[in-house]
Amino acid sequence: MSNLSQFIAANWLLCAAFIIMLIIYFVYEFRVASAGRFNLQAQDAINLANRNKGVFLDIRDDEAYSKAHIVGAIHATIDTLKSNTKMLNKHKEAPIIIYCDNGVTAKSAYQLLKKEGFSKVYVLKGGLKSWRAEKLPVDAKKTVQTTTNVLPNKKKKKKQ
């Protein structure tokens, strides 16, 4: 034990740097762990929504929502949420799973809803992109393709 105290006394700057780096490491790991706890994989999001009557919240723009969205999702852009979250008040106690295209913008909506007092807010990890990658159902705008079928006019030979 006396060797340790001698080492610390002789290398106090090195020991101080080590302690600072250790603190930074633990703070970083704590932040990553606490942020990841509210990120859900697609299957976990489905389970949570089904078991606890949760809702999906699509925060993408109107055009992206009309092209494809998770079946039954509520639509509100991030700008709409910034000005008014009252539309979600009836879901205040239910789990709300927020998603965007790839999961990045949803984090700011997550923070906004947490500030507004929503307690059960989650982010769909990877957004709609990961949802589709797992081949889960989306409500997509179906485009009808009309093709003109032009076949050569074949005359049938009359039987004699």
Q: How many domains does the chain have?
A: 2
Tell whether the model's pLDDT for residue 160 goes beyond 70.
Answer: no
Burial annotation 61-70 (CB, 10 A radius, 16+ → b, else e): eeebbeeebb
**Residues with a known catalytic role:** 100
CATH code, domain carrying 52: 3.40.250.10
Same domain for 46 and 110, yes or no, is yes
H or E segment to which residue 138 belongs? strand 138-140
Tell me whether residue 53 is in a domain. yes
Query: What dihedral angle (degrees, nearest 10) is formed by the CA atoms of 100, 105, 111, 116?
Result: -60
Look up tokens 């159902």; give the residue: 137
Residue 159 is predicted with a pLDDT of 53
Q: What is the pTM of this model?
A: 0.67
The residue segments making up the domain with residue 35 are 11-39
Q: What is the pLDDT of residues 21-75, one digit of tens each?
A: 999 999 888 877 666 568 888 999 999 999 999 999 999 998 999 899 999 899 9
